Amino acid sequence: MSTTDHHFGAYPKEEPLGTYPEEEQFGACPVCHSHDGFYNAGKGQWFVCHEHRVRWFIGSNLFSAWREETENEQRHAYEVEPGWGFYEDVDPLPPMILSELLGDAPGSYEGVDEGPF
C-alpha cells in the first residue's frame, strides 16, 4: 500500500448528500455539508473536508482500519500528504441538523411499527 493509498473512508463529494450513512452518524463539514472520509491518528478517527481544510474527531477505535496502517503511514498523511493534521478543528454539522436537511428527522417515520423490531 502506498502512502497515498492508505486513506480509508473516502467518498466522492459529487454523490448526493446522505448517500453514505456516516454523514448522518458522524456529521459533515459545516460549510459544504459533506466530507472526504476519515483518517486515523493512532486508534483515533478524524473526518476531514479537504476543500475547506477542516477536521473533526469522531472517536477512538470505531473502525479497525487503523490496524492496517503503520505509524509512518499515519504520520505521513497527518504531516505531509494531504497534511490533514494542520487543518482547523471544527464542530461538524450535527447529525440532527443533517437529518433535517435530508428530510429524515426523528419522528417523521410514517408507517413504522412502534416495536423495536
24 within some domain: no
- Give the residue numbers spanning the domain of 71: 41-90
Strand order in the sheet with 44-49: 38-41, 44-49, 54-60, 88-89
φ/ψ region of 54 (left if φ > 0, alpha if ψ in -120 to 50, else beta) reads beta
**Residue-wise pLDDT tens digits, 11-55:** 445 555 555 555 567 888 999 888 888 999 999 999 999 999 999
Surface-to-core class of residue 34, CB atoms within 10 Å of its CB (0-12 exposed, 13-18 middle, 19+ buried): buried
pLDDT of 98 = 64
85 within some domain: yes
55 within some domain: yes
CA triplet 4, 8, 12: central angle to 5 degrees?
A: 90
Rounded to an integer, what distance in angstroms lies between the CA atom of residue 76 and that of residue 41?
A: 11
Tell which residue, 44, 59, 43, 63, has the closest CA to residue 92. Answer: 59
71 within some domain: yes
What is the tally of structural domains in the chain?
1
97 within some domain: no
Q: Are 23 and 17 in contact (CB under 8 A)?
A: yes
**Residue-wise pLDDT tens digits, 53-81:** 999 999 999 888 889 999 999 999 999 99
What is the pTM for the complete model shown?
A: 0.68
